[in-house]
Structure formats: structure tokens, C-alpha cells
A and B are shown apart, each in its own frame.
Chain A
Amino acid sequence: MQTSTETPRARLAEGVRKGAPFALAGGLLALSFGVVAREAGLSAVAAIVMSAVVFGGSAQFAAIAIIGQGGGVGAAVGAAALMNSRFLPMGVALAPSLPGGAAKRAAQGQTVVDASWVLAAREDGTFDRWILFGSSAVQYVTWIGGTAIGALGGDVLGDPSALGLDALYPAFFVGLLLSEVRSRRGREAAALGALVALVLVPFAPPGVPVLLAGAGALIGLMRRARSEAASG
């Protein structure tokens, strides 16, 4: 791939460029998080700190929703962990592309967010870590900035639901998904993942259906086995 021959600095810049549209969309999302967090009883500072140290939209929204409904902190942290459990397979996928010792690899793994992980993925299953870093950096800035605006200026903005801000988050993932379903195999994995998740929704706690939907990727092995059988 041509990007891998460029300098780290150039690829970092490429990551920033590619991540910028997602950063803008993420900033709007963070804005609604800031408003919702205040409504759930967090101070503006707490909301901003949470975005800075957790940096994960679905986990933050899930945790805040439970606190807002009067749930316990343990339940909220558990929900956040489940929502973020998809980063387990993502981290496993990324691992072979990270150099250095265990501590260094673990630190680099902290930069994974959904959009960056997708943008950094190469077709051969490896990842360009500099694109990952650049893309996450620009998204980190707007994530904190958006949270600050929402948390401090929420009274001016009004009801995030009336503004349709809750539709932003799934739309964000639709935008990411579209680039992944251009291949037939990608469409099959997406369809299988969606099916697994929908079937599990009524039975499993939120977050678990998404984690287990990762099994949809195993369809790659089936198709491979089938084509091997056909050619052999």
C-alpha cells in the first residue's frame, strides 16, 4: 500500500485529514452528551473530565442513562464495560500491527476508537498505526470541545431530543459502515452481524448483542472453506 512507504509524519497528517469529518460529527455528538450529562446530575467539569478520560460515546451515554434513571454506579460502569466490549476484538485485530513491548503496545491500544480503527485498517488485515493516532487525535479534541460546549451552554441549546441529536450517533456508524459494505463479503458479514444483534436484543443486556455480533466476521472462514472445496 502506498501509505506505508510514506513517513510517519505524513501518515499522521493523513490520519488527521481522514479523521476530520468524523471529528466534526463526533463533536456534535459530544455536545449532546454534555447536555445529557448535566441533566443526569453531573457537574460541567465532571462531564468534561469523563469525556477526556473515557473517550467512548456509547459507553458514556449508556453509563449516564443509568445514572439519570437513578441506577447505581456499579450498574453504570458495567453497562459502559459492555458497550466498550467491542474494543476487545478490535484490540486483538490491531495487536500484530503494534510494535514494542507489552506496556508500549497497551498504551498505543488506548488510541482505538471506532472511526480510527476503521480508517487505519488495511485490506490485508493489518493496521496503519500512524493513521490510527492522527485520526484519534483530531477526534479527541472535538470530543472534549463538544462536551464542554454542551455542558456549559446546554441551557441555551434546549432539548437535545427536539434537535434530533440522538439520531446523530447511529447515523455516524452508518457513514462508517457504508465503506465496509462495498464488497460482497463485507455485506454478508454486516447482514449476519445485524441479524445476530437483533435476535439477542430482547435477551442480553445492552452491549452484549454488539460484542457477539462480531461472530458475523467468521463468515469469512466459511466462504473460504467453500471456495477451497470448489477449487479442490
Chain B
Amino acid sequence: MSTSLVLIAGCALVTAAIKAFGPIALGGRELPERFAIVIALLAPALLAALVVTQVFADGQRLAIGTDTAGVAAGALFAWRTGSIIACVLTAAAVAALLRAL
């Protein structure tokens, strides 16, 4: 239990510190226009990176698997329907199906 406790406390503390850094360091200032342009583009850059590292990487190795096919199917569904629920359920269903074959 003590290992769990240190793990949980450690993860909670580093996460809180990371989330607090920006608001403390940069709060209450006017936003230069160039800053705003970059900020608006942070979301697509970070999200795309999250997707490709989860879909095409297994640890530090590049790999394609059944989850890749599932996520591709989910992406197609999300593109057509705009539904996040349809997207994640399709991804899971396709990945599960391919594994059952």
C-alpha cells in the first residue's frame, strides 16, 4: 500500500505543479497578437501528436496494430457523424473484432 501511496501522491503533485506553472507565471497579462496565433494552433499540434504516438508507437518503437485499424475506423465515423461517442465505440468495436478473428 505504501508504494501505491507514494505513486499516487507523486503523480498528483507533479500534475498539480505542471498545471499551476502557466497560470502563476503568466497570469494577468495582455496577450500579444503573435502569442494568440500560436496558442490557437497549439491544440491541433498537441492533439495530432497524441494521436500518432498512441496509434503508431509502442513505447519507443514504431508499430501498427489492431488498435490502429480501430482508431482509423473511429476517425472515419467521427468525420461523417461528428459524434465522439460513435467515434470511440467504433474504434473499440473494430479493434475487438479484429482480435477475436
B81 CB to nearest chain A CB (Å): 10
A78 CB to nearest chain B CB (Å) = 8
Q: Interface size of A by Cβ–Cβ distance < 8 Å?
A: 108
Q: Are B84 and A172 in contact (CB under 8 A)?
A: yes
Query: Which residue of chain B has the shortest Cβ distance to A89 in the bound complex?
Result: B42
**A interface secondary structure, majority:** helix
A-B contact count (CB 8 A): 331
List CB contacts (< 8 Å) of A153-180 with chain B: 161-178, 180
Bound-state Cα–Cα, A24 to B86, Å: 11
- In the complex, chain A residues whose CB is within 8 Å of the CB of B27: 95-96, 98, 100, 102, 105
Please determine whether A224 and B53 come into contact, CB atoms closer than 8 angstroms. no
In this complex, the member of B29, B44, B96, B99 whose beta carbon has the largest number of chain A beta carbons within 10 angstroms is B44
| Contact between chains at B92 and A164 (CB < 8 Å) | yes
Bound state CA distance, A17 and B83, in angstroms?
14
Contacts A95-B23, A125-B36; A189 near B51 (Cβ below 8 A) = no
Q: Is the CB of A194 within 8 A of B60?
A: no
User: CA A81 – CA B65 in complex, angstroms?
Assistant: 27
A11 to B74, CA, bound (A): 30
List B residues at the A interface (Cβ < 8 Å).
Answer: 1, 3-8, 10-12, 14-16, 18-31, 34-57, 59-62, 66-67, 70-71, 74-75, 78-79, 82-85, 87-88, 90-97, 99-100
